[in-house]
Amino acid sequence: MTNLNSLDKKTKLNLLRSEYKKLAKIFKEYQEKQKTDLQTIQSIKEENQHLSNLIEEKTEFISKQKNILSEKKLKLEKIQQKTEETKKELEEFSEKHDKLKKELENFNIKTQNLKILEQDRDSLKEQQEEMMKELETKEAEKLRLMEEIEKIQKELDDSNLKIADIDKKIKTTVELRTEAQKKEDKKVRDIFKLPSTEFFYNSYFCWKALSNGTLYLTTSYIGFKPRLLKKPFAFPIRDIVQIEKKKNVTNIDNSIEITRKSKKETIFFASFLVGKRDRCVTDIISQAKKLDHEIIVKEIK
């Protein structure tokens, strides 16, 4: 610090003034700071007062909430007590419900058994009705079968009579046939492997396809024997459905076409000798009538 004693008055005065200004400035700052601090303190007091008020309000609110909570706790205890009572009642109700459910199941079982018994009764009734109908049907069928048996027996008797008549005719025919005819009968039967009841009736020269040969007519068969190496064949007159008179490839009216029933086929025999084609057709129809068999004959168009 500067020694004042060594300075003159003016300098001292200036120095003192300078120091005074500094002190005045510091004092002023202090006053302002003190004022600010007082304001801050006042603000803090106000805030404290406000906080005190808030605390009082909160305390009062908490007290009220405690009272409300106590009331709610009492209510909750009552509700819990009521819940326990309700729970017990519910358990009792559940027991009653289970008991009723079991009784209902037993009742349903009894009802179902009753329905089954009713269904069985209805089913037995229907079966009885069906059996009665079936019995009636069988009785009717029995009567029908009896009628058919009588009819068949009658037909059998008629057939036996016819067979006896045929046997008689065959015997008579055999007795009346000459040795030459018997020889021809055996020859035809051997060619076509026919039964002993077949007798030669007539023969006709003709062509089948590219083979010429002989068409044989017996009691109930027609057979063709080619002259070349082809095998002979025969079929029953009863198998013939239709005979149609035809022209051959050279447009000559001397051929026939036979339609068979069993094989659903036609056989073409061509180029009969003059007058023999119509004679052959007439002989076949004649033999068919003896067998009670009808053949359609179609004339050439």
Domain boundaries, the chain: 199-298
Per-residue pLDDT of the chain (301 residues; tens, 9 = 90+): 555 566 677 787 888 888 888 888 888 888 888 888 888 888 888 888 888 888 888 888 888 888 888 888 888 888 888 888 888 888 887 888 888 888 888 888 888 887 887 887 888 788 888 888 887 888 888 888 888 877 877 777 676 666 566 555 555 555 568 898 999 999 999 999 999 999 999 999 999 988 999 999 999 999 999 998 789 999 999 999 999 999 999 999 999 999 999 888 899 999 999 999 999 999 999 999 999 999 999 998 7
CB 245 within 8 A of CB 253: yes
Cα distance between residue 281 and residue 294, in whole Å: 13
Cα distance between residue 245 and residue 285, in whole Å: 13
Sheet-wide strand order for 221-226: 200-208, 211-218, 221-226, 233-236
Going from the C-alpha of 67 to that of each of 61, 70, 78, 266, the distances in angstroms are 10, 5, 17, 124
Burial class of residue 223, CB neighbours in 10 A (0-12, 13-18, 19+): buried
Cα distance between residue 287 and residue 173, in whole Å: 15
pLDDT value at residue 241:
96
Q: Which residues contact 226 (CB under 8 A, 6 or more apart)?
A: 208, 211, 212, 213, 232
pLDDT value at residue 176:
66
Which residue's entry shows tokens 């510091």? 26
pLDDT value at residue 165:
65
Cα distance between residue 51 and residue 221, in whole Å: 143
H or E element in which residue 272 lies: none
**What six digits make up the tokens of 137?**
């049907």
pLDDT value at residue 3:
59
Domain 199-298 has CATH 3.40.50.2000: no
CB 255 within 8 A of CB 271: yes
pLDDT value at residue 230:
85
pLDDT value at residue 170:
54
Cα distance between residue 294 and residue 67, in whole Å: 127
